[in-house]
């Protein structure tokens, strides 16, 4: 049971010594049944996870039974997700993350995979738990809705701090000035996977289930022809001030692209990061990794390229909305 002996029923709440229908001597016939007996709307003293599993996007633990093994590794495990893949019921606690970077009590005692691909018995950071399935084993992924210049299916490579750009998940970002950030966020902040991939506000935190594609905590429209609104890019606007973005404080053509041309944030920006193993670092600062369903090559050169020319300066060689950018600068 959780550290500190918080459950008054002790071991018997989850286990039965005789006649169990499954291992390891669980009261429920399946692992998730043992967990969701308490973690449902019927129990006001525990987080209601069962209801989130009815959302259209999520980690649907009720679709798998008996596949998790404590000895499995990312390489030999079948494509599945069960409660115990992310939570150790004997180690878990309600301890919050101390710095925002270290792992919180809900994930304590769970194995992980480091950015380098090394397996560790106990993850030290939330992203190491995620990389067990979303790292070097692309067969465990469900696919990506956006086809980009640089396609990387190992999320560990995307968030690597050695990249030209990355969201600050494994380390603080390197940009010295990001005027759109909403306090208390700053250029030195670190975020977690679950800051974006989680149930919506007001529900138990974590990537259990969400009504938003991508298992996101708020809406984030992708593609072209999107009418700008607080709802269309609600996820981005949780951290990046809408007034700052549309006021062109960080890029002088944001409003032109997002409002006038109805181009979504995702057409230009790859939210996790851009893997250095595949791309020219000078072309992929500021999370630039174009959506190939919208952006086409510049006819004369046959390339799609962004070139960083310094603070708030750059140029593009590409075709978008039928308009040819031949090293168009700003």
Domain boundaries, the chain: 19-71
| Residues near 190 by beta carbon (within 8 Å), at least 6 away in sequence | 99, 100, 101, 168, 169, 171, 172
Q: Is 178 exposed, middle or buried (0-12, 13-18, 19+ CB in 10 A)?
A: middle
pLDDT over 60 (residue 149): yes
Give the mean pLDDT of 9-31. 69
Integer CA distances (angstroms), 196 to 115, 164, 213, in order: 19, 21, 12
Instruction: Residue 190: count other Cβ atoms within 10 Å of its Cβ.
Output: 18
Which among 163, 126, 188 is positioned nearest to 270, based on CA atoms?
A: 163
Q: Is the predicted pLDDT of residue 4 greater than 50, yes or no? A: no
- pLDDT above 70 as % of the chain: 86
At residue 157, φ and ψ (nearest 5 deg) are -70, -30
The sign of the CA dihedral 324, 251, 270, 118 is positive
Identify the residue whose tokens are 């506000």.
Answer: 201
236 with 265: CB under 8 angstroms? yes
Confidence of residue 320 (pLDDT cuts 50, 70, 90): very high
The band of 9, judged by pLDDT with boundaries at 50, 70 and 90, is low
- Tell me how far apart the alpha carbons of residues 291 and 266 are, in angstroms, rounded to a whole number: 7
Distance CA 150, CA 285 (A): 13
For position 251, what pLDDT does the model report? Answer: 95
Tell me the HSE value of 320 on the side-chain side, using a 13 A CA sphere. 26
CB atoms within 10 A of CB 310: 6
Q: How far apart (Å, rounded) are the C-alpha atoms in residues 175 and 95?
A: 31
pLDDT(284) > 50: yes
User: What distance in Å separates the CA atoms of residue 19 and residue 16, rounded to the nearest whole number?
Assistant: 7
| 204 has pLDDT over 60 | yes
Average pLDDT score over the chain: 87
pLDDT in tens, 243-261: 999 999 999 999 999 999 9
Alpha carbons 47 and 304: distance in angstroms, whole number: 47
What pLDDT does residue 272 have?
A: 95
**Max CA pair span of the chain:** 75
Q: Is the pLDDT of residue 139 over 50?
A: no
């Amino acid at each position: 049971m959780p550290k500190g002996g918080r459950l008054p029923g002790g071991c018997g709440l989850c286990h039965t010594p005789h006649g169990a229908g499954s291992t390891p001597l669980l009261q429920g016939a399946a692992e998730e049944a043992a967990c969701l007996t308490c973690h449902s709307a019927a129990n006001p003293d525990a987080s209601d996870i069962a209801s989130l599993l009815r959302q259209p996007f999520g980690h649907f633990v009720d679709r798998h039974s008996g596949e998790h093994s404590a000895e499995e590794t990312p390489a030999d495990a079948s494509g599945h997700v069960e409660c115990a893949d992310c939570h150790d019921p004997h180690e878990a606690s309600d301890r919050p993350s101390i710095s925002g970077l270290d792992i919180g009590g809900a994930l304590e005692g769970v194995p992980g995979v480091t950015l380098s691909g090394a397996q560790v018995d106990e993850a030290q950071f939330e992203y190491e738990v995620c990389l067990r399935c979303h790292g070097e084993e692309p067969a465990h992924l469900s696919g990506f809705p956006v086809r980009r210049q640089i396609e990387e299916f190992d999320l560990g490579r995307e968030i690597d701090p050695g990249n030209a750009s990355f969201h600050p998940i494994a380390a603080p970002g390197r940009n010295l000035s990001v005027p759109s950030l909403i306090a208390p966020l700053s250029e030195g902040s670190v975020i977690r996977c679950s800051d974006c991939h989680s149930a919506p506000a007001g529900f138990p935190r974590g990537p259990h289930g969400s009504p938003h594609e991508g298992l996101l905590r708020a809406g984030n429209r992708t593609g072209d022809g999107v009418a700008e609104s607080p709802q269309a890019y609600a996820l981005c606007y949780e951290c990046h001030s809408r007034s700052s973005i549309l006021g062109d404080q960080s890029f002088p053509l944001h409003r032109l692209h997002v409002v006038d041309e109805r181009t979504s944030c995702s057409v230009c920006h790859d939210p996790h990061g851009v893997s250095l193993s595949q791309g020219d670092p000078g072309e992929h600062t500021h999370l630039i990794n174009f959506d190939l369903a919208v952006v086409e090559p510049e006819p004369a050169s046959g390339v799609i390229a962004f070139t960083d020319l310094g603070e708030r300066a750059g140029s593009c060689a590409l075709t978008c909305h039928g308009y040819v950018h031949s090293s168009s600068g700003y």
